[in-house]
Structure 1
Amino acid sequence: MSRPRVVIISGNIRRPSRSRGLAEALGAEVGRRASIELKSYDILDAGPGFGSALARSELPLPAARIVDEIEGADALIVGTPVYKGAYTGLFKHLIDFIAPEQLAGKPVALTATGGGARHALVVEHALRPLFGFFAALTLPTAVYASDADFEAAEDGAGYVVTDAGIRSRLCAAADELAGLLATHSRGAEILRRSAWAVQ
């Protein structure tokens, strides 16, 4: 039996990135609870020319492969920095290329980062409705972290979550996603068929 495939996609447009660090921290917690195949991407991995593509056939090969990975995943962990109260434009641009039926019933964990606590509801007011359109199964526990909740990694290549409350939420979301992955494979296909049959 193959391991569930979990794909992380982060909307950050710079590296190192707190957004990618938060999403990957959640992926690591899920990996402690379940045997999974984990892949991680951000917008920079989509390659040059991605932003100017207007149709899926125009995507550069790296971006097309990311879209294929997202559609083929058993679950997603998504993250974005907050820009003007919502997700980044290039993150939304990538999501626009996904066939809606490919996310129906798929577990999706929501994460976001911002400069302060005032942006915390972006996960509820922007990310959850976006994936609700796709009839995805968003986890009850979303994780938002602000700049003060991180420290730079010792190697300088990223960021580490240091806030105990955020780490607790990561654990709660990981419990939910690992539990869904354990019971979800058959139910996901039923949800996928039924969700788009009525539209």
Structure 2
Amino acid sequence: MSNNLIVGFSGNTTRPSSTRRFVETVTEALAKRVGLGHIVLDVVELGLSLLSARSVADLDPHARRLVETIIDAEALVIGSPTYKGSYTGLFKHVIDLLAPADLRGKPVLLTATGGGDRHSLMVEHQLRPLFAFFEAFVTPTAIYASSRDFAEGVPSPSVTARVDQAINEASLLLQHRSLRTVEAAE
């Protein structure tokens, strides 16, 4: 069951977070483009029950509702800060709680942030295979941005161009998904 939301999920473990701000920007732009509501969540919001959870059922009711919001989203904008060439451990723990079919066919736009160019392939080598496992429809364009790609919180023109391209791709995936849903209902 869909909640008609574009859901941003950030793997940041601290606040304030440039990763969360970037995910918020991309999520809001995608939601505006396709005429849907949006919400942005992060690992911090899941609280302490996440630490000992081995399944979604082990989470406290608040955290369980947040994970269900991710599962029920029309599309996801995923983001993680890059630590030692990969996503954060708690981000992966959240994803590990999902059943393999939970994200099947869901449009997903990938983002990541990091301190420098050494981490730029993280989206391709870490995030893309993770969401391929779930059979999600990941946009061909992913966005990695380093701290030098932002001036006073505003993304550079090259990052903005990649965001626009990824949003166009996600919009097409959402249109296709809506058409399949209508055809299945007929």
Instruction: Give me the TM-score of the superposition, normalised by structure 2.
Output: 0.90
- How far apart in 2 are the matches of 1:78 and 1:189? 26
Give CA-to-partner distance per residue, 1:76-119, whole Å, 9 cap, x none.
11000001111100000001111221211110000000000110
| Distance in structure 2 (CA, Å) of the matches to 1:40 and 1:16 | 14
Q: Does 1:28 align with 2:21?
A: no
CA RMSD of aligned residues (A): 2.0
Shift of 1:181: 1.6
> Is the CA contact 1:3–1:35 (under 8 Å) kept in the aligned structure 2?
no
Q: Which residue of 1 aligns with 2:100?
A: 100
Amino acid at match of 1:69: T
The aligned counterpart of 1:157 is none
Match of 2:119 in 1: 119
Correspondence for 1:181: 174
Percent identity, aligned pairs only? 44
Matches within 5 A, 1:32-71: 32-71=32-71
1:23 Cα deviation after fit: 1.3
Q: Which residue of 2 aligns with 1:8?
A: 8
Partner of 2:141: 141
- For the 8 Å contact 1:49–1:59, the answer to whether it is kept is yes
Cα drift, residue 134 of structure 1: 0.5
Normalised by the length of structure 1, the TM-score is 0.85
Q: Which whole-Å CA distance do the structure 1 matches of 2:155 and 2:97 have between them? A: 35
Q: Please list every run of 5 or more consecutive structure 1 residues that lacks an aligned counterpart in the other structure.
A: 153-159, 191-199
Match of 2:165 among 167, 172, 189: 172
Query: Which amino acid letter does the alignment assign opposite residue 31 of structure 1?
Result: A
8 Å CA contact 1:150–1:161 kept in 2: the answer is: yes
CA distance in 2, matches of 1:55, 1:29: 32
User: What is the CA–CA distance in structure 1 between the aligned matches of 2:60 and 2:41, rounded to whole Å?
Assistant: 15
Indicate how the Cα distance of structure 1 residues 75 and 189 shifts in structure 2: closer, same or farther if over 3 A, else same: farther
Q: State the Cα distance separating 1:150 from its structure 2 match.
A: 2.1
Describe the SS at the equivalent of 2:101.
helix
Seen in structure 2, the aligned counterparts of structure 1 residues 151 and 178 have a Cα distance that, compared at 3 Å, is same
Q: Which has the higher contact order (CA 8 A, sep 6+)?
A: 1
Q: Deviations over 1:15-45 (max 9, x none)?
A: 1111111111111221332201111100111
Deviations 1:119-155 (A, max 9, x none): 0100000000000000110000100000112244xxx
Q: How many residue pairs get matched? A: 182
* Gaps in structure 2 of 5+ consecutive residues: none
